[in-house]
């Protein structure tokens, strides 16, 4: 595998060659910021097209076709359109909180994006408590949604935000427990080390039964966490018009839209890192020739392919299952998903303690 540390240390050496350390660090921070911004924007554009095309195909339609070949330029047209819409701040809204909410939502998703490693040495934030940091930052995003609904001076948005808050905090537990199951198997919270542990085989295979249960729990909880699929009651159109972002217009609305798609990528990315080996190629113990061939495919390709596959599954959920009610949603989490996740954690602990895993 190509190690990106070579590139970064070369760049660092180049800069420190003719300028003091603090200036080099500053420039590196700016470069990182620009890269993150570009990746964020490109991923959001890609995801908008991905979702629109997929949902069209699920409904036997063609999706956007007119602007550019296969409708590829449609997203740029949409982006431009949303930029030239008027920003309206309604009567009676809490103006400060109303304008603060998009900042919180976007900042939390950008910070989470910066935590994901894309390849060997190709990561930005790399805490030794990485998984925990991601969960902590994702909880901050909920605050932005609650603020958006509260400050809009509209009862629909208030109900939407409350539902969203209840849903996201509830499903965060199952999400966290599914992650702990893998942390238990890996013995570390550092994301880079978790990926490195999967050199021989992915955790989905190494941890077999409990890992597969944890993966299913993670997928369900992630769908709820991103307010999608059968769990999209925060924005149930037929009862709440559009949920917590009803009163936002123009690019203000665009931020929530952007963050929603990026959160879809982030939960898929975390699933691919924790269960499917992240940027680690598919390795089968014993088949050295096969493993060597797989090593030729670059890490970022593996990571993105896995993340897009999991996003595909989550988008598929949306077009397969009908929306559920709030009481069903909460009782599903508290009476089924979380107890199962807890029991699964104990199962995994037994597997790890007695060495029944691979």
Partner 1 sequence: MNLLLEISNGALAITAAITGVFLVFAALLIARLISPRSFSVKKSEPYECGIPTRGQSMIQFKAGYYIFAILFLIFDVETVFLYPWAVVTRSMGPQSLAVIGVFLFILVLGLAYAWRKGALKWS
Q: Which of residues 215-234 bind partner 1 (CB under 8 A)?
A: none
**Residue 77 interacting with partner 1 (CB under 8 A):** no
| Minimum distance, C-beta of residue 128 to partner 1, in the bound complex (Å) | 9
Q: Toward partner 1, which CB reaches closer, 71 or 232?
A: 232
Q: Toward partner 1, which CB reaches closer, 141 or 277?
A: 141
| Minimum distance, C-beta of residue 12 to partner 1, in the bound complex (Å) | 5
| Minimum distance, C-beta of residue 213 to partner 1, in the bound complex (Å) | 16
Using CB under 8 A, pick the residue from 14, 23, 42, 87 that binds partner 1: 87
What is the C-alpha R_g of the chain?
21
**CA 328 – CA 160 distance, rounded (Å):** 16
Using CB under 8 A, pick the residue from 46, 188, 300, 316 that binds partner 1: 188
**Residue 284 interacting with partner 1 (CB under 8 A):** no
Q: Which of residues 159-178 bind partner 1 (CB under 8 A)?
A: 162, 165-166, 169-170, 172-173, 176-177
Instruction: Considering only the stretches 68-76, 111-119, 200-208, 268-276, report the one whose residues sit in contact with partner 1 under the rule CB under 8 A.
Output: 111-119
Phi, psi of 355 (to 5 degrees): 70, 40
Phi, psi of 108 (to 5 degrees): -65, -40
Give every CB contact of residue 25 below 8 A, 6+ residues apart in sequence.
none
| Minimum distance, C-beta of residue 69 to partner 1, in the bound complex (Å) | 27
Q: Which of residues 316-355 bind partner 1 (CB under 8 A)?
A: 326-327, 330-331, 334-335, 338-339, 342, 345-346, 349-350, 352-354
| Minimum distance, C-beta of residue 94 to partner 1, in the bound complex (Å) | 8
DSSP for 3-15, please give it. -THHHHHHHHHHH
Q: Toward partner 1, which CB reaches closer, 61 or 85?
A: 85
Instruction: Considering only the stretches 61-69, 127-135, 209-217, 301-309, report the one whose residues sit in contact with partner 1 under the rule CB under 8 A.
Output: 127-135
Residues binding partner 1: what is the number (CB under 8 A)?
94
Report in angstroms the alpha-carbon separations of 351 from 20, 160, 169, 208, 354: 52, 41, 29, 10, 5
Using CB under 8 A, pick the residue from 54, 77, 107, 308 that binds partner 1: 107
Phi, psi of 185 (to 5 degrees): -70, -40
* Residue written as token pair 């431009």: 80
The torsion of the CA quartet 257, 131, 270, 191, rounded to 10 degrees, works out to 130
**CA 130 – CA 186 distance, rounded (Å):** 13
Contact criterion met (CB below 8 Å) for 147 and 104? yes
**CA 133 – CA 44 distance, rounded (Å):** 23
Give every CB contact of residue 108 below 8 A, 6+ residues apart in sequence.
137, 138, 140, 141, 144, 259
Q: Which of residues 31-50 bind partner 1 (CB under 8 A)?
A: 32-33, 36-37, 40
Contact criterion met (CB below 8 Å) for 347 and 209? yes
- CB neighbours of residue 106 within 10 Å: 18
Q: Toward partner 1, which CB reaches closer, 194 or 315?
A: 194
| Minimum distance, C-beta of residue 225 to partner 1, in the bound complex (Å) | 13
**Residue 147 interacting with partner 1 (CB under 8 A):** no
Q: Where are the beta strands (DSSP E) in the chain?
A: none
| Minimum distance, C-beta of residue 62 to partner 1, in the bound complex (Å) | 30
**Residue 211 interacting with partner 1 (CB under 8 A):** no
């Amino acid at each position: 595998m190509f190690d990106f540390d070579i590139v970064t240390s070369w760049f660092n050496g180049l800069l420190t060659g003719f300028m003091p350390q603090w200036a080099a660090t500053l420039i590196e921070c700016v470069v990182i910021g620009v890269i993150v911004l570009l990746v964020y924007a490109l991923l959001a554009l890609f995801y908008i097209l991905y979702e629109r095309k997929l949902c069209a195909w699920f409904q036997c339609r063609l999706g956007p076709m007119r602007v550019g070949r296969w409708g590829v330029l449609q997203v740029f047209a949409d982006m431009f359109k949303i930029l030239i819409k008027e920003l309206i701040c309604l009567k009676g809204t809490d103006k400060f909180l109303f304008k603060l909410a998009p900042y919180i939502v976007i900042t939390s998703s950008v910070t989470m994006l910066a935590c994901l490693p894309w390849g060997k040495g190709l990561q930005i934030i790399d805490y030794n408590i990485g998984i925990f940091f991601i969960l902590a930052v994702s909880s901050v995003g909920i605050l932005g949604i609650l603020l958006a609904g509260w400050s809009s001076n509209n009862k629909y948005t208030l109900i939407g935000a409350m539902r969203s808050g209840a849903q996201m905090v509830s499903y965060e537990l199952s999400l966290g427990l599914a992650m702990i199951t893998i942390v238990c198997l890996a013995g570390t919270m550092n994301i880079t080390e978790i990926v490195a542990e999967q050199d021989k085989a992915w955790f989905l295979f190494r941890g077999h039964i409990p890992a597969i249960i944890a993966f299913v729990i993670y997928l369900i909880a992630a769908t709820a966490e991103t307010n999608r699929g059968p769990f999209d009651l925060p924005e149930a159109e037929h009862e709440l018009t559009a949920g917590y972002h009803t009163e936002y217009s123009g690019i203000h609305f665009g931020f929530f839209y952007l963050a929603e798609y990026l959160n879809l990528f982030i939960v898929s990315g975390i699933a691919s890192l924790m269960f499917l080996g992240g940027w680690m190629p598919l390795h089968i113990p014993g088949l050295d020739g096969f493993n060597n061939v797989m090593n030729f495919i670059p890490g970022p390709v593996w990571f993105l392919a896995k993340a897009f596959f999991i996003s595909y599954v989550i988008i598929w959920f949306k077009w397969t299952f009908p929306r559920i009610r709030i009481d069903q949603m909460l009782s599903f989490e508290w009476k089924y998903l979380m107890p199962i996740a807890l029991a699964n954690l104990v199962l995994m602990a037994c597997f790890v303690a007695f060495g029944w895993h691979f």
